[in-house]
Amino acid sequence: MQLPGLAATGLRTTQFSILAKLKRLGPMTINALARELVMDRTTLGRTMLPLERDGLIRIADGKLDRRSKELHLTKKGADRLRAAGKLWREAQTEFEAAFGGARAAKLRDELHALVSSELGRSLEGGKNRRQPGRATP
């Protein structure tokens, strides 16, 4: 998904989240970042390729295990994140104005509870498992 505000930076919301997480937590392995973002590792891999291509992140051999790969935010990535952050904050302000500050806060709390719950962990660990008795679209 690409928010209209972020469109000017060329970032999708998932790419913005990757850059923001790397800025906040520093270099990390692909698996660790996927867990932090509650995202499938394969999906993360596809999402980060344009970031690497555009020089916004750098992928290097892991410090502790050279078989693993670590993602690093580049200066260009930090600059793009800074520009996108301003637009992101503006979009959040617009959302809260339209949806209501209290409702927006409650929605964020509920979403955080979902991804932090046992259900969120099981969804992250078994994205492709079909639940018995449920129709798939």
Domain assignment present for 59? yes
Q: How confident is the model at residue 129, as a pLDDT?
A: 43
Q: Are the beta carbons of 64 and 49 closer than 8 angstroms? A: no
What is the tally of structural domains in the chain? 1
The answer to whether 9 and 84 are in contact (CB under 8 A) is yes
pLDDT tens per residue across all 137 residues of the chain: 555 678 889 999 999 999 999 999 999 999 899 999 888 889 998 999 999 999 999 999 878 777 788 999 999 999 999 999 999 899 889 999 999 999 999 999 998 888 788 766 665 555 444 444 444 34
Residue span of the structural domain in which 109 resides: 4-125
Residue 113 tokens read as 């509870």
Is residue 43 situated within a structural domain?
A: yes
Contact 81, 20 (CB under 8 A): yes
Residue 130 is assigned to a structural domain of this protein: no
**Domain for residue 45, yes or no?**
yes
Residue 135 lies in a domain: no
What does the pLDDT read at residue 2? 53
Question: Looking at the domain assignment, is residue 29 inside a domain?
Answer: yes
Provide the edge-to-edge strand list for the sheet that holds 69-73.
Answer: 28-29, 69-73, 57-61
Kindly report the pTM of this predicted structure.
0.75
| Residue at 131 is within a domain | no
pLDDT at residue 116 in the model: 81
Please report, for the domain that includes residue 32, its CATH number. 1.10.10.10
Does some domain include residue 136? no
